[in-house]
């Protein structure tokens, strides 16, 4: 059994910052890519940021480049998303994503989601 647990969402004013965290736990042998997606009301889920296991490769949505930074602590099986200069259009439920090997091959896992609201 593998779980991803997110934290750090909340309400912030435009221009503010938030840091999301996601910790993976359970029957983990190794973790490949980890990252974040988001889904705003009435819209499809979209990629925000995704990083490789070694951190050498990262992929960001154009809309967040230069404002958001993904990082991870492999010793803690945790991925972070530092969000700066937040805009109202960043309002969404943010989901953690990970490709995890638990002994039966790699599988995709999702967190339960954390709400980020950017509003004055």
Query: How do residues 82-99 score in pLDDT, each as one tens digit?
Result: 999 999 999 999 999 999
- What is the model's pLDDT at position 53? 85
Judge whether 28 and 77 are in contact, CB under 8 Å. yes
Q: Which two tokens stand for residue 19?
A: 């840091």
Give the pLDDT confidence score for residue 21 in this predicted structure.
Answer: 98
CB 59 within 8 A of CB 50: yes
Average pLDDT over residues 12-17: 98
pLDDT tens-digit readout, 23-41: 999 999 999 999 999 999 9
Predicted confidence band of residue 57 (pLDDT cuts 50, 70, 90): confident
């Amino acid at each position: 059994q593998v779980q991803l647990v997110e934290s750090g969402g909340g309400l912030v004013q435009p221009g503010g910052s938030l840091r999301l965290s996601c910790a993976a736990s359970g029957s983990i042998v190794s973790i490949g890519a980890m990252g974040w997606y988001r889904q705003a009301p009435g819209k499809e889920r979209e990629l925000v940021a995704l990083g490789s296991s070694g951190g050498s490769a990262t992929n960001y949505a154009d809309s967040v480049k230069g404002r958001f930074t993904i990082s991870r602590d492999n010793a803690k099986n945790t991925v972070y998303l530092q969000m700066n200069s937040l805009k109202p259009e960043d309002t969404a439920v943010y989901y953690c994503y990970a490709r995890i090997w638990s002994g039966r091959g790699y599988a995709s896992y999702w967190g339960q989601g954390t709400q980020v609201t950017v509003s004055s």
